[in-house]
Amino acid sequence: MAASENLEFAGFSFSTTVRAIPDSLREAAHVCAASKLHFLLPCSESIAVQLYGPAIKAGEFVMGYPDELGETATSPEPEIFRRNGTFVAFRKFHTRVAAFRKYLREQASSPEEEELIAAKMVGRWRSGAPLVLAPTSDDPSLGADLDRNNAFSYKDDSKGFKCPFSAHIRRVNPRDALRNEIVAVNLHQFLRRGTN
Q: Which tens digit of pLDDT belongs to each residue from 112-158?
A: 999 999 999 999 999 989 999 999 999 999 988 877 888 888 888 98
Name the strand (E) or helix (H) holding 115.
helix 111-122
- Produce one character per residue of 108-129: b if its CB has 16 or more CB atoms within 10 Å, e if not: eeeeeebbbebbbbbbbbbbbb
Tell me the pTM: 0.67
Residues 106 and 145 in one domain: yes
Q: Give the number of other CB atoms < 10 A from CB of residue 82.
A: 17
Confirm if 19 and 56 have CB atoms less than 8 A apart.
Answer: yes
Q: Which domain holds residue 151?
A: 97-187
Residues 35 and 112 in one domain: no
- Number of domains forming the structure of the chain: 2
Residues 71 and 104 in one domain: no
Instruction: Report the C-alpha gap between 19 and 92 in whole angstroms.
Output: 23
Q: Is residue 141 in some structural domain?
A: yes
Residues 116 and 183 in one domain: yes
Q: Among residues 81, 114, 129, which one ends one of the domains? A: 81
Residues 179 and 114 in one domain: yes
Q: Is residue 32 in some structural domain?
A: yes
Residues 104 and 70 in one domain: no
